[in-house]
Amino acid sequence: MATRFEEEYKKLNKAQKEAVDTIEGPVMVVAGPGTGKTQVLALRIGNILKKTDTAPESILCLTFTNSGVRAMQERLQGYIGPEGSKVSVSTFHSFALKHLIEKHYQLLGFTIEPKILSDEEAVFLVDEILHEHDWQHIRPRAKPEMYFSELKQLISVLKRERISSEEFLRSLEEEIIYIQNDPDSISSRGESKGKLKKEVEKKLESLERTKEVVEFFRLYEEKKISLSLLDYDDILENAVRLVEEFEDVRADVYENYQYVLVDEHQDSSGVQNSFLKAVWKEVEKPNIFVVGDDRQLIYGFSGASLSYFEEFSRIFQGTKLITLTESYRSTAPILSLAEDLLQSSMSDGKLLSNIKGKGEIHLSEYAYPRDEIIGAGMYFKKKIEEGAKPEECALLVPRNRHVRSAIGILEGMGLKTSSGKDVSLFDIPEAKSFLRILGIVADPVNSVLLAESLLDKTSGIDPLSAHKFLKGTNPKYLSIEEIKSFGSRESLFGGGSIAKWGESLEKIVKDFSNESVERTVSMVGREFLIDKAENHEELVRNSEVVRTFIHLAELFRQRKKDARLSDFLAYLARLDSYGSHISLATFNGEAGIQVMTLHRSKGLEYKAVWVAHMNEEILMSEKRTSFSMPEKIKEHIKERDVLAAKRELYVAITRAKEFCGISYVREDYQGRELSLAKIISELPENHFVKKSAEETGKELLSFGPEVYVPTEGVPAGGSTIVELQEFVRKNYSDTKVSVTLLNNFFECPWKWYFRNFLKLPEMKSKSLALGSAVHEAIEFVLNSKSIDEKSIEKKIEECLIREDASASPAERKKMIKDGAKAVANFINGFYKTISKEYLSERPLSFRDSRFPNLLMYGKIDLSEKLEDGGVAVTDFKTGSVKTKGMIEKYDDEGRLSVYMRQLAMYSYLVAGAEKGKEVSLSRLLYLEAPAGDRNGVYSTKVSMENIDLLLRDITEYDKLLSSGEWVNRPCHFNSFGKNEECEHCKMAKIYR
C-alpha cells in the first residue's frame, strides 16, 4: 500500500475516518458540499485493499457521470498506486452495458448484439414515427416538432420508473373513469347544474389526448426492437431484467464484486435502486456503501427521488448512517446561508467551515437583466486583476437561454468566457452563417438563403449597403447572377462588395457541388470562417464550429454512405427544429469565466460565484406540460416546487469558496415589475450585503458610460443606426399598410423591417401553406360554384406543391386530407347561408387624408351585401379556434388583439374605399372547428372605439418610423412558454 494513503488518512476528521473504517455491512453516508466525499470513497477503497485480501477487480465503484469516474480514478492511482487502476470504477450505464448487456444480450431476445441509439439517431427514429402515422395531437401542423422534447422526456421517465405502455394506458383510463364518477366533478349550480364542470371537461379532453402518447410509446418500442436498438434508458432497464430474471447472471455479478460503492446516491432512479435490490437484497449485511446529500437532489427530471435515497436503509436492514458536516470548500458565511436556506431531512448536523475568511454574500438589485450581467462582469474583471484566474470565476443562471445571453454580454465587455456544454452548436451565430453558406452550395437558387447571406458578416458587405440593395430589388426572385452583376450597374450602394460576394458564391457552388459532404464542410468552412477570422479568439471559435460540423458530417456518412449535402443539411435542420443539443467541439473548454446553469454547476467549485436572475417569476417558472398525467403517474414526474428551487439554489451557493453574489432585477425589458425570489427574501437579512437598483446603477456608471456599450457588434464599413433610421424614414411610405404589417410591427419592429419593409423571402410554414391552399380552394368553390370533392382536393394539392415544396409525401397527404375536411366544413355549413351578392378575395385600398403618405390596403376573404343593404365581411381561419375572450382581449399596451385589429381594418377599408359605407357585420370563421363548437363563428359589429384604436396604431406606426424611434420600441414576441428568442431580433442585433 502506498504511503500516500497513510498521509491522507491522517488528515481525515472523526466522521470521515468512521466512514473509511466501516468497511463491512451496508453503510449510508450523508455528505454535505465540500465535506470530502470523493476523498472518503477513494480512501475507503484503499482501506478495503489494506485490511482484506480482496482483489482490486472485486471492488465496484458506481457513479453517475464520466467526470465522476475520472476524478475517482485519479484519486485511487494517487493514493494506492498501480493497484488503483484495477478497481472497477464506472458509471451505472457503462457498467450495465459492458458487463451485462454485451455478455447476455441473447437472454434479452436479441439475435445480434444491440446497437446503442445516440441522441442524434433517436431524432430520426422519433421523426419517422411522427411522419408515418396520422396523429391528431402530438404532431401539430403549425409546429410539428412542438412536443418532441416532452415526448422524449415523458417516455424516458416512464421507462426509468418501469411503467409500460399498457400500464400507462390503464392508468389513463382509470383516471378518466374516476373523474367521471367523482361527485365533485358535477356542477351543483347555474345552467350547468347536474352536468360535468367545465374544468373537468377540459381535464377529460386532455387525458383523452394523452392516449396518443401511449400509442407513440408502443410504436417507438416496437421499432427499436425490430432494428436491434437500445436507447439510453433501455440500458438500465435491461440490466435489471437480466439480474431479476436470470439467477446465473445475478450470481455472476454478486460473485465478481465483494464490495460495492455508489457515489451521489441521491440521484438514483427507481431502475438503479431495483438493480441493487435484485442482486444484494437477499444477502445478509451486504458490503454496499452509498454516499449522497439529500439537499443536492436536482435530477428529479431523470427519475431521481429522495424516497429512493431514504429507501436504502429500509431495503438493507442494519444500515449504518454516518453524517459528514465539516466543509473544506466554503467560508462560514456561505455555509450559514446554505443552512438557513435548506436543512437536511436525513441528519441534524449543521455544516461547519474549515476555511478562514469573511466570505461576504452580496444581494444586489439591478434595473434590467442586462445590468445584472454587466455587474457580474465588472466584479469578475476586478477579481482577475487581483490575480484570480478567469476559470476560477463562475456566473450561474437559471436557464440555457440565460447562458447564451450572458455570454454575449460578457464577451461584449471583452471578457473571455467558457460555457462548457451548455451552449449548443445551433445557438452560435457563426454556425448559422456556415449552415447558410452550405445551404447555398446545396441549393444555389434558394432566394431565402441568398438574401440572408447578404446581411451576414461573412459576406463582407456593409450592412446598410446590403439592405439598400435588397430594398431596390425583389428578394423573392434573387439569384447569384443578380448579386454578381450588381457592381456593373450604376449605384451608390457599395456595388463592389456585393458583386464580389456574388462571385464568391458562384465559385463555391461550382467547386463543391459534387464533392463529398466531409470535404465540402471542411473546405467551405476553411474559406468562409477560418480564413476570414480577424483575431485569435475569432479563429479559435470559427475553428471549433467547423470542427464540430466535420465531426457531425463523418457520423452522418457512417449512417448514410451515399448521402448528399442536401441530406446532411436536412438532418441538421431536423436536429435543430427538435431542440437537440449539439455541444461545441472546443479546444480548451475550461479557459475563461465559466457560464452555466445552476443545475450544471453541481460537483464543481470556484473562488467566486455570481448567481444571477434570482427573480420569483424566473426561478419558479415552470414549462407548461402539454399532456395531462394520471395522478398515479404524476408522482414519478418532477414538478417545479419550492423545495426543488431551494435545492438548485443550495447547490449554486455552495459552489463558492470565497465570494458569492446574488442578483435580481426590478423589471424586465417590457417594463413588467419583477420581485426577488421568495426563497431568498424570506432568509434573514444579516446574511447579505444589500445594494439597491439605484446603488448598482451608480456603481456601473462609475466605470464610465461605455460600460453599457459592447466592444463588438459595430456594423462593418461604418454604417450606423442613424443611417438605418434615415434609410427607413425615406422609404417606409412605399410599403402598403395592411393589417398583417401592423400586427408584425407591434409584435416586433424588426419583424416588420425584415418581412414588410425589406420583404425578405421566408420559408412558408406548413400551417400557412395549408391556410393558403384552403383559401384558394374556397375561392374556387365560390367562383365556380363547384363542390366536387376530387376537384377541391386537386386544387388543394396544386397549391400545396406550389406553396410548400419541402413537404414529404406523407405530410402532403395529411395536409390535403385536413384541407379537404376544412373546405367540406365550409360547404356543409357556412356556404349555405351566404347571400346572393358576394365577392371573394376582394382587394381594397385608399389613402386617408390623415395619413396622406400611406396607402391602406387589404384583401377581404368574403364580402356580402345583406338584404337590408348593409355589408358583411368574413375572414376564413384555419387552425385552432379562438374564444370570444381571446379575440376581444386587449394586450398589455391596451391595443386590439391581432384578430380584432383585422376586423377593424376591414371596416376601415370598406368605409375608406367606398366613401363612408358601413360594415354592419364582421365575422371570423374557423374552418376546422369541431362540430357544434359555439366558437366556430365569431360575429360582431366593429365599434368606433375599435376603429379609433386602429387609427391610434396607424398614427404611432407613422410617427415612430418618421422619427426613427421604431428602433427603440421593445419586442413583444410571444414564445408561448418555450423561452425562445425572437428570430428577427437576433437578425437585428448587429444594429443594436
Q: How far apart are CA 744 and CA 902, in angstroms?
A: 12
How many Å separate Cα 565 from the centre of its chain? 26
Q: What cell numbers appear for 414 in the block?
A: 471583452
Q: Is the pLDDT of residue 803 over 60?
A: yes
Across 40-61, average pLDDT:
93
Across 785-804, average pLDDT:
85
> Per residue in 542-578, pLDDT tens?
888 888 898 888 878 777 778 889 989 988 888 888 7
Predicted pLDDT at 868 = 83
Helix (H) or strand (E) holding 651: helix 642-653
Q: How far apart are CA 435 and CA 869, in angstroms?
A: 57
Evaluate the CA torsion angle 649, 652, 655, 660 in order and state its sign.
negative
Weakest-pLDDT range from 303-307, 776-780, 783-787, 921-925: 303-307
Over pLDDT 70: what percentage of the chain? Answer: 91
* Of the candidates 21, 675, 624, the residue with the CA atom closest to the CA atom of residue 320: 21
Q: How far apart are CA 31 and CA 9, in angstroms?
A: 17
Q: Which DSSP state fits 32?
A: -
Over pLDDT 90: what percentage of the chain? Answer: 43
Q: How far apart are CA 191 and CA 187, in angstroms?
A: 9
Q: Which DSSP state fits 35?
A: S
CA angle 563, 148, 595 (to 5 degrees): 90
Predicted pLDDT at 300 = 46
Predicted pLDDT at 706 = 60
Q: Which DSSP state fits 228?
A: T
Q: Which amino acid, residue 242?
A: L
Residue with cell 371537461: 201
Q: How far is CA 233 from CA 93, 156, 239, 581, in A?
A: 9, 6, 10, 18
Across 669-674, average pLDDT:
77
Q: What is the mean pLDDT of the chain?
A: 86
Q: How far apart are CA 34 and CA 32, in angstroms?
A: 6
Predicted pLDDT at 680 = 95
Predicted pLDDT at 946 = 96
Tell me the pairing of strands 919-926 and 937-940: antiparallel
* Of the candidates 124, 173, 948, the residue with the CA atom closest to the CA atom of residue 560: 124
Q: Which alpha helices (DSSP H) does 2-87 contain, by range?
A: 3-10, 14-21, 37-51, 66-80
Q: Are residues 117 and 125 in contact, defined by beta-carbon separation less than 8 angstroms?
A: yes
> Per residue in 211-223, pLDDT tens?
888 899 899 988 9
Q: Where are the strands (E) in 293-335, listed by range?
A: 320-324, 326-331
How many Å separate Cα 924 from the centre of its chain? 33
Predicted pLDDT at 301 = 41
> Per residue in 344-363, pLDDT tens?
877 777 888 988 877 779 99
What is the side-by-side order of every strand in the sheet holding 606-611? 417-418, 593-597, 393-397, 606-611, 656-665, 361-366, 689-691
Q: How far apart are CA 28 and CA 11, in angstroms?
A: 22
Q: Is the pLDDT of residue 848 over 60?
A: yes
Predicted pLDDT at 980 = 66
Residue with cell 467549485: 605
Predicted pLDDT at 54 = 93
pTM of the model: 0.73
Q: Going by C-beta distance under 8 Å and a sequence separation of 6 or more, which residues neighbour residue 800?
A: 769, 770, 773, 807, 812, 815, 816, 819
Predicted pLDDT at 623 = 56
Predicted pLDDT at 941 = 95
* Of the candidates 266, 326, 325, 321, the residue with the CA atom closest to the CA atom of residue 293: 266
Predicted pLDDT at 973 = 85
> Per residue in 947-987, pLDDT tens?
999 999 999 999 999 999 999 888 888 765 555 678 888 77
Predicted pLDDT at 211 = 87
Residue with cell 345552467: 191
Predicted pLDDT at 838 = 92
Q: Are residues 15 and 38 in contact, defined by beta-carbon separation less than 8 angstroms?
A: no
Q: Categorize the per-residue pLDDT at 717 as very low, low, confident or very high, splitting at 50, 70 and 90.
A: very low
Q: How far apart are CA 834 and CA 866, in angstroms?
A: 9
> Per residue in 902-938, pLDDT tens?
999 999 999 999 887 889 999 999 999 988 888 999 9
Q: Is the pLDDT of residue 628 over 90?
A: no
* Of the candidates 374, 397, 393, the residue with the CA atom closest to the CA atom of residue 384: 393
Q: How far apart are CA 115 and CA 559, in angstroms?
A: 13
Q: Which alpha helices (DSSP H) does 854-982 contain, by range?
A: 884-888, 898-913, 944-963
> Per residue in 277-311, pLDDT tens?
889 888 888 999 988 887 877 654 444 445 656 77
Q: pLDDT: is 894 or 513 the higher one?
A: 894
Other residues' Cβ atoms within 10 Å of the Cβ of residue 7: 10
Q: Is the pLDDT of residue 600 over 90?
A: no
Q: Categorize the per-residue pLDDT at 425 as very low, low, confident or very high, splitting at 50, 70 and 90.
A: confident
Q: How far apart are CA 695 and CA 24, in angstroms?
A: 58
Across 685-701, average pLDDT:
92
Other residues' Cβ atoms within 10 Å of the Cβ of residue 178: 12
